[in-house]
Amino acid sequence: MAAIETWHMKGELMLSCSCTVFCPCVVSLGKHPPTEGTCKTWGGVRIDDGSYGDVDLSGINLGVIIEIPGLMSRGDWTAGLFVDESADVYQVKALTKIMTGRARGSTHLLSILVSRFLGVHQERIVYETDGDTRHFVIPKIVDGEIAPIAGSESGKPTVIDNSRYWIAPKIVVAQALKSRFRAFGRNWDFEGRSAEICQIDWKGP
């Protein structure tokens, strides 16, 4: 078995899902079912600083698709990965290990919960910030726009802080202003539904 390298990824994650109100998985840690009974979600990751061993991962954007048939904690997930077309073969291999949980550490849960993997696909991926709004585009696949829900203090979003949620301890509660996904036989439109934004600091093994 190939050795697992030391790795880290710092950046931002945005996520849009099928829940009609803010995703209960965040506060229940997967013990409460999604509002629709099942969860359908796509997400985008912007890696500001990252590496896997000697492989630099900084500046690469990722996309993910996840379907969860019931309680998040029970597993049997379906997942797929998109890696920006600018990534070379070594970066794609490293990111595949990390995002399938095989590199252990922060994403290790994915190796336990995902039972069906839809593969790795290289596409042009755009992750942009315009004020508080995030834009995420994979041409002909994802067209997303996510904005935070305003909090009681002017200019600051509603947040969930000090959480044990595996993605990040601080989650910005958001809503999808636009959320289309078309791939793998799926045709989703989650406009107006639950979304989240968080700063990630993942590492392993």
pLDDT in tens, 91-117: 999 999 999 999 999 999 999 999 999
In the chain, the number of structural domains is: 1
pLDDT beyond 90 at 164:
no
Residue 24 lies in a domain: yes
Residue 148 near residue 118 (C-beta atoms within 8 A)? no
pTM value is: 0.93
Residue 185 lies in a domain: yes
Residue 205 lies in a domain: no
Name the pLDDT band for 24 (thresholds 50, 70, 90): confident
Residue 89 lies in a domain: yes
Domain span at 18: 7-200
Q: Which residues of 135-166 are buried (b: 16+ CB within 10 A; e: fewer)?
A: bbbbeebbbbbbbbeeeeeeeeeebbeebebb
Residue 146 lies in a domain: yes
| pLDDT, position 87 | 98
Q: Which structure tokens are listed for 19?
A: 């829940």
Residue 80 near residue 65 (C-beta atoms within 8 A)? yes
Residue 43 lies in a domain: yes
Distance CA 104, CA 107 (A): 6
Name the pLDDT band for 1 (thresholds 50, 70, 90): low
Q: How many Cα neighbours within 13 Å face the side chain of 143?
A: 9
Residue whose structure tokens are 């042009």: 124
| pLDDT, position 81 | 98
Residue 142 lies in a domain: yes
Residue 64 lies in a domain: yes
| pLDDT, position 165 | 83
- For the chain, percent of residues with pLDDT exceeding 90: 84
Task: Let me know if 44 is exposed, middle or buried by CB neighbors in 10 A (0-12, 13-18, 19+).
Answer: buried
pLDDT beyond 60 at 26:
yes
Residue whose structure tokens are 């379907």: 67
* Short-list 9, 34, 20, CA closest to 195: 20
